[in-house]
Structure 1
Amino acid sequence: MRSAQYTQTQVPDAGKVRPPMLTVIAPADGRVVDTIPTDTPEQVRATVERLREHSELWRSLGVVGRIHWLTTFRNWLLDNRDEVAELLALETGKPYSEAELEFDLAVDAIDHYRAQGADFLGGRHPQVSLRPSAAMQLAVTQHACSVVGVIGPWTYPLTLAVFDAIPALVAGAAVIVKPSSETPLTMRALAAGWAKIGAPAVFETVAGHDAGPAVLDTVDYVRFTGSVETGKVVALRAAGRLIPCCLDLGGKSAAVVLADADLDQAAACIALGGLANSGQSCRSIERIYVETSVYDAFLEKLAAEAAAFGPLIDDEIGTGVMTSAAQAEHVRTQLGDALIAGATLRCGGSGTGHTIPPTVLADVEPTMSVMTHQTLGPILPVVRVADAGEAFDLTLRPPAGPCVSVWTTDTSVGPRASTRLAPAQVTVNDITPHISHPTAY
């Protein structure tokens, strides 16, 4: 069973083959959610040209005018919260409570740029070091691209696309979003909402496998979130056109548990950091290194946390449901390879269909594929290490992830870890960084 599939439709009169239709199937129960048309490269090109024509009017509104429309769009989202969250939960397989959390993150992003957009777009005059023979002044100004392309993932199809689309709209660019073919419906609904409020026609979506390359070939700037392999293709294609791109790629985020850590706290938080959204995030914890003196005790606590892991609401279903059938099979392959190579199962297992239960692996070796290739699934592999030095060395091995959490009561470890593990985001006794606005201090 796949979350999205294509069907060819014959046009009887013309004898031509229409673009494939995209059928979206609910991962949780296999029912058809919707069938939508895909976009040919020619259609994508026409959409981008239409957006380019409208972008001049959009820029002319100024930041105040653009924020007015973003505020109206935010209000539409809040008025349609239940419908959008239900659609998101249906096409991704998330429990409704997790879909609500993703919805709230998207609204928070809109609020952030509504509040800070004017400041972000203001000109700056940084100090420069003057050469003895020259005097100069340096000014930094903002210039919006006409059309920004956002190519989003299936892991957080609403939030991550909104994170990229909203600042581009605030800056004065038109935006075309190409969601994953696994989860195209929620962003399609948002684009329909944008049109419904009467906003300028500068936000549209396209669908289908041919649409992604076509977006890359026509827009002025690309934001891509996805795998390292696809990211390389995106970067090369953008370089071939000499357009800027920004890539948010996957990896294997890690956790390091030292002997003096609060093991109860570490186990509970690492379980959350690796199992939320069924591990389907580039920031999910996929590698755990534990000092040998506390290895067994930590493993017991982690297995108990994973076995009890469930939705935020007790009567919800959906824990362990993966959005992509192909990704579920990839996770099962990694799990099977690890067990054959000597790892032992402490809880969970391979599951069936789109469902893989929260799983903890013990006796894992650093060379196993579950440690060397991105998983994007609810698997927590635990490696025994001699000390912090060995743990940090292993954490730096490819494929390094965007985040590392270190669990210790020694306050001197954090600064050392941050220096050694850069450029990863390093947190101490937490699974994610929390950033406050500088004016709060």
Structure 2
Amino acid sequence: MRIGHPEFHAHRATTQSQVPDAGKVRPPMLTVIAPADGRVVDTIAAETPDRVRTAVDRLRDNAAGWHSLGVVGRIHWLRVFRNWLQDNRTDLVALLGAETGKTEAEADAEFGLALDTLDHYRAHGADFLGGRHPQVALRPGAAMQLAVSQPAGAVVGVIGPWTYPLALAVFDAAPALVAGAAVVVKPSSETPLTLRAVARGWQSLGAPAVFDTVTGPDAGPAVLDCVDYVRFTGSVETGKVVALRAAARLIPCCLDLGGKSAAVVLSDADLGLAAASIALGGLANNGQSCHCVERVVVESPVYEAFLDKLVAETAAFGAALGEETGTGVMTSAAHVDRVREQVRDALLKGATLRCGGTGSGFTFEPTVLGEVDATMSVLTQQTLGPVLPVVRVGDAEAAFELARRGPAGPCMSVWTHDIVTANRAIARLSPARVSINDISIHVARPQPC
């Protein structure tokens, strides 16, 4: 979900050199800076590969006892943990906001997603783990009973992103814990503090010692080298490295990779609705999610009219949650530089700057680019920033073809009143999650009625 994954590449947190001290080697340190004001949030030790292996060995030793509790016993501890999270919500939301640069409303919404995830698996974990016995016909007149079970790996490694460091880690850790596995989470070196605090919370409850975190740029590869199953969320480029490293050990891995989610606006669309929704879908949380719109493909007859409306919506964009306004700050100053370089590349190659386009420090203006084409990195590389590149196409078929072209993102939206065309889009854009005349499911947490 990002350009270059912090677990394997450079990161905002400063790594201090190993320095001899009275015959000993001090561990490398990570200094985490708050993007909102530049203050030091905390300085923590980064794990060496040997320390990671020791942590995973300890988790593996405890996994059998955790599994023996049964699903009811494990769900009990998830309930206790969930209550601890709720009791400490204010402090954890503040810490999450400090290290990511998210507004209070955005950080609280992410925290809510983590609670919702724990509630979901507490409620349905026993059903998910129940045995199934489908009838399988191998050939006419012959059949056999097939039992399907879900054995847990001893230790599951979760390598998480800086975009949603708490929620996405819990998305992966909760089902693994319910299934009976121990879990080690490697949060991004950009944002390690909230997960570290959460793991300490688990330990403070007296729960079985089957959940822990490791930090630092060397910890990601070390996790891959010693866990039994790996769950990675990150960029396509780093995902390939993870897949090859897991394959070398013959361990299963699951990859949730980024891309460039697209919005397709056809000539019969409600342009006002499409522009307002796409602005939200591309600019919420500064575009720092693989679900955010990163490519806008528009049929030529309505291109200029739509672009005018999108520029107006972008210029007036405010936060989607609470009363806070503006897009706030981005998590990484280095990533602001990458976004700036994509915009610069597009302008040098003939794109038109319709609004925004500048950034410094941890901020980048909400930006709309017109006349974008496939020679520009803003259309071919993941951005994860508040930039909406708009492409002109001749017809719906060309629009769908461009939207599905790599690097395709996990979400697509199509804006049209033609039901036949909409259904054709769903088939053409699979396996992405396709919404018709709607964008909010990509960026907003559902609220109770």
Counterpart of 2:135 in 1: which secondary structure? coil
Q: Shift of residue 212 of structure 1?
A: 0.5
Q: Shift of residue 317 of structure 1?
A: 6.6
CA contact (8 A) 1:8 1:17 kept: no
CA distance in 2, matches of 1:303, 1:197: 51
CA contact (8 A) 2:286 2:327 kept: yes
- Give 2:157's match in structure 1, choosing from 149, 153, 157: 149
Question: Structure 1 139/314 Cα, relative in aligned 2: closer, same or farther at 3 Å?
Answer: closer
CA contact (8 A) 1:93 1:318 kept: no
Counterpart of 1:416 in 2: which secondary structure? helix
User: Deviation string for 1:35-70 (max 9, x for gaps)?
Assistant: 000111111111001101111111111111111110
RMSD after superposition: 1.6
Aligned residue number for residue 329 of structure 2: 321
Runs of 4+ in 1 over 3 A off after TM superposition: 132-135, 312-318
Counterpart of 1:225 in 2: which secondary structure? strand
Q: Shift of residue 368 of structure 1?
A: 1.4
**Percent identity at matched positions?**
70
CA distance in 2, matches of 1:189, 1:55: 22
CA contact (8 A) 2:162 2:187 kept: yes
Task: Flag structure 2 segments of 5+ consecutive residues without an equivalent.
Answer: 1-9, 443-449
Letter of the 1:252 counterpart: K
Counterpart check, 1:415 vs 2:423 = yes
Aligned residue number for residue 382 of structure 1: 390
- Give 2:354's match in structure 1, choosing from 343, 346, 352: 346
Aligned residue number for residue 7 of structure 1: 16
Aligned residue number for residue 107 of structure 2: 99
Counterpart of 1:159 in 2: which secondary structure? helix
Task: Flag structure 1 segments of 5+ consecutive residues without an equivalent.
Answer: 435-441
Counterpart of 1:204 in 2: which secondary structure? strand
CA contact (8 A) 1:252 1:373 kept: yes
CA contact (8 A) 1:148 1:219 kept: yes
Q: Select between 414-423 and 96-105 the one with higher mean Cα deviation.
A: 414-423
CA distance in 2, matches of 1:75, 1:11: 43
Q: Shift of residue 8 of structure 1?
A: 2.4
CA distance in 1, matches of 2:275, 2:112: 27
- Give 1:125's match in structure 2, choosing from 107, 114, 133: 133
Counterpart check, 1:237 vs 2:245 = yes
CA distance in 1, matches of 2:181, 2:321: 40
CA distance in 2, matches of 1:432, 1:137: 44
Letter of the 1:238 counterpart: A
Counterpart of 1:128 in 2: which secondary structure? strand
Letter of the 2:13 counterpart: A
Letter of the 1:6 counterpart: T
Q: Shift of residue 32 of structure 1?
A: 0.3
CA contact (8 A) 2:277 2:440 kept: no
Counterpart check, 1:51 vs 2:59 = yes
Aligned residue number for residue 109 of structure 1: 117
User: Deviation string for 1:371-427 (max 9, x for gaps)?
Assistant: 111111110011111111110111122111111100011122222111111221111
Letter of the 1:376 counterpart: L
CA contact (8 A) 1:85 1:96 kept: yes
CA distance in 2, matches of 1:430, 1:381: 19
CA distance in 2, matches of 1:248, 1:284: 15
**Equivalent runs, 1:42-441 vs 2, <5 Å:** 42-132=50-140, 134-312=142-320, 316=324, 319-431=327-439
TM-score, normalising length from structure 1? 0.95
User: Deviation string for 1:171-226 (max 9, x for gaps)?
Assistant: 00000000000000010010011011111110000000111111001000000000
CA contact (8 A) 2:300 2:394 kept: yes
CA contact (8 A) 2:137 2:143 kept: no
Counterpart of 1:176 in 2: which secondary structure? strand
Counterpart of 1:259 in 2: which secondary structure? coil
Question: Structure 1 91/396 Cα, relative in aligned 2: closer, same or farther at 3 Å?
Answer: same
Q: Shift of residue 312 of structure 1?
A: 4.2
Question: Structure 1 318/92 Cα, relative in aligned 2: closer, same or farther at 3 Å?
Answer: farther
Q: Shift of residue 315 of structure 1?
A: 6.0
